[in-house]
Amino acid sequence: MGAGDDEARERLKEIEETLDVLRGEIGPPTDDPKDYGDAAAEMLAREEQGALIESLEREQAQLRRQLGLD
C-alpha cells in the first residue's frame, strides 16, 4: 500500500463523513405552508444538495474501485 492509497483512503473517509452529514440535513419535505419564495428556496437547496450528494457518491465509487473495495 503506497502513499497514493493512503491519500485515497483518507479522501474516502472524508467523503463518507460528508455524505452522512448531507443526508442527515436533507430530511423529508415538510407540508408546512410556505410562500412561493420560501418554497422555491427550499426546492433549490434540496436540488443543490442532491447534486452534491450524487457527485460525492460518484467519487466514492471511483475511490472504492481504485482501492479494490468493491
Q: Could you report the per-residue pLDDT of 55-64, keeping only the tens digit for each?
A: 999 999 999 9
Mean pLDDT calculated for residue range 46-66: 96
The model's confidence at residue 34, banded by pLDDT at 50, 70 and 90, is confident
Distance in angstroms (rounded) separating the CA atoms of residues 64 and 57? 10
Per-residue pLDDT tens for 3-17? 789 999 999 999 999
Residue 1 reports pLDDT greater than 70: no
Q: What is the DSSP string of the chain?
A: --HHHHHHHHHHHHHHHHHHHHHHHH-PPP-----HHHHHHHHHHHHHHHHHHHHHHHHHHHHHHHTT--
